[in-house]
Amino acid sequence: MDQSQFVQTFERIKSQMARVVVGQEPLVEGVLVALLAKGHVLIEGAPGLGKTLVARTLAVVSGCSFKRIQFTPDLMPSDVTGSSIFDRQAASFAFIPGPIFAQLLLTDEINRAPAKTQSALLEAMQDRQVTVDGNSRPLPHPFCVIATQNPVESQGTYPLPEAQLDRFLVKLTVSDPPREVEHIIVRNHASGFDPSDLSALTAAVTPEELVAMQEYAQRIRIDDAVVGYIVDLVRRTREDRAIELGASPRASIALLKAAQVIAASEGRDFVTPDDVKPMVAPVLRHRVMLHPDAQLQGVTADDRIADILRSAPVPRPA
């Protein structure tokens, strides 16, 4: 994988997804950046905005194996990871893999499952393996969890704890589309588009090529001044008076990895501050906890992150 191949493949994936996902370019690019940075994605938005469609479309276009889990209050950890079942003929226990053994896993409405079931994802998201009955089993490469949650419903939901949220490289928010975009979406359905049938799409890349793209992005050069800029941004979340709990060093690493992918997609072999800036809010918004007083005043995490981004000195090119 070289520079031109990375750029061409990146654009090919985006253009294929744009055939189905209309008017959600930031969401499409954010999910793709997270996948190539070896991260996981949390998507928050009201029902009917295409969160699930993005994940299904990416699975087809990327050629990855895909599984979907509908999280419910009665879902058990074994429903996610799999379990051992006694085989009478062999007179031994046989492991039946759960849906987590897929390259692309969609966990729909993740906050509807209790903490015990949510925690079944922790080891998989961090170490790319699953331990059941004392045996650790590796997950396929690439491996990416795309989780969705609905912010407008609270009844019957279990908010994700900070440790779980921190495992997601980015949190992407989906808002209502502009009128002209919604017009296109409805017109496409009137013309016979069926979101459950993605057979018209073709794979733009293979899983092996995705792994090669991940490895290429990791080699993108980043100057020490830009590393300092990333660290400064993250550390400012711990010093902000409106923020009770700031982001950890894991956020700095996530921001670095995301910026490397952005730089590679732009056809450069080095990271600039402009590659960092668009990923600051997606990487940090779910990793900071506001003071109750700030919440009462209507301050949001995005507001504080925007202020931090404006106030942080940007390194000048050497």
Are 247 and 109 within one domain? no
User: What pLDDT score was predicted for residue 156?
Assistant: 66
Are 248 and 318 within one domain? yes
Does some domain include residue 209? no
Q: How many domains does the chain have?
A: 2
Are 70 and 42 within one domain? yes
Does some domain include residue 211? no
What percent of the chain is helix, strand and coil (3-state, nearest 5)? Answer: 45, 15, 35
CA end-to-end span of the chain: 29
Are 262 and 117 within one domain? no
Of residues 106 and 157, more confidence is placed in 106
Task: List pLDDT tens digits, range 193-212.
Answer: 877 778 778 889 999 999 99
Does some domain include residue 85? yes
In the predicted structure, residue 298 carries a pLDDT above the cut 80: yes
Q: How far apart are CA 259 and CA 195, in angstroms?
A: 32
Residue 90, C-beta contacts closer than 8 angstroms, at least 6 positions apart: none
Are 199 and 250 within one domain? no
Does some domain include residue 215? no
Are 248 and 287 spatial neighbours (Cβ–Cβ below 8 Å)? Answer: yes
Does some domain include residue 214? no
3-state secondary structure of 198: coil
Identify the domain boundary among 141, 169, 204. 204
> Whole-model pTM?
0.92
Q: What is the mean pLDDT of the chain?
A: 90
Does some domain include residue 210? no
* Residue 221 per-residue DSSP state: B
Are 234 and 173 within one domain? no
3-state secondary structure of 2: coil
User: What pLDDT score was predicted for residue 49?
Assistant: 83
User: What pLDDT score was predicted for residue 157?
Assistant: 76
3-state secondary structure of 301: helix
Identify the domain boundary among 137, 169, 204. 204
Q: How far apart are CA 303 and CA 258, in angstroms?
A: 21
Are 261 and 147 within one domain? no
Are 171 and 272 within one domain? no
Task: List pLDDT tens digits, range 64-81.
Answer: 999 999 998 889 999 999
The verdict on whether omega for the bond into residue 315 sits within 30 degrees of 0, i.e. cis, is no
User: What pLDDT score was predicted for residue 318?
Assistant: 58
Closest-CA residue to 203 (of 3, 57, 18): 57
User: What pLDDT score was predicted for residue 285?
Assistant: 95
Task: List pLDDT tens digits, range 134-170.
Answer: 888 999 999 999 999 887 666 667 788 888 889 999 9
Task: List pLDDT tens digits, range 2-48.
Answer: 899 999 999 999 999 988 888 888 999 999 999 999 999 999 988 88
For the domain that residue 126 is a member of, what is the CATH number? 3.40.50.300
Closest-CA residue to 262 (of 289, 240, 244, 280): 280
Q: Which domain holds residue 298?
A: 220-318
User: What pLDDT score was predicted for residue 286?
Assistant: 94
Q: How far apart are CA 103 and CA 65, in angstroms?
A: 5
Does some domain include residue 212? no
Are 151 and 178 within one domain? yes
Are 167 and 228 within one domain? no
Are 117 and 240 within one domain? no
Of residues 92 and 236, more confidence is placed in 236
Q: How far apart are CA 58 and CA 121, in angstroms?
A: 21
Are 200 and 294 within one domain? no
Identify the domain boundary among 173, 204, 235. 204
3-state secondary structure of 150: coil
Residue 194, C-beta contacts closer than 8 angstroms, at least 6 positions apart: none
Strand partners, 171: 42
Q: Is 82 left (phi over 0), alpha (psi -120 to 50) or beta?
A: left
Does some domain include residue 168? yes
Are 165 and 23 spatial neighbours (Cβ–Cβ below 8 Å)? Answer: no
For the domain that residue 248 is a member of, what is the CATH number? 1.10.8.80
User: What pLDDT score was predicted for residue 210?
Assistant: 95
Over its C-alpha atoms, the chain yields an Rg (Å, rounded) of: 20
Q: What b/e readout covers 55-65, taking b as 16+ CB neighbours within 10 angstroms?
A: bbbbbbbbbbe
C-alpha separations of 201 from 20, 89, 235, 289, 313 in Å: 8, 43, 43, 40, 44
Percentage of the chain modeled with pLDDT above 90: 60
Q: Which position has the token pair 């899983």?
A: 207
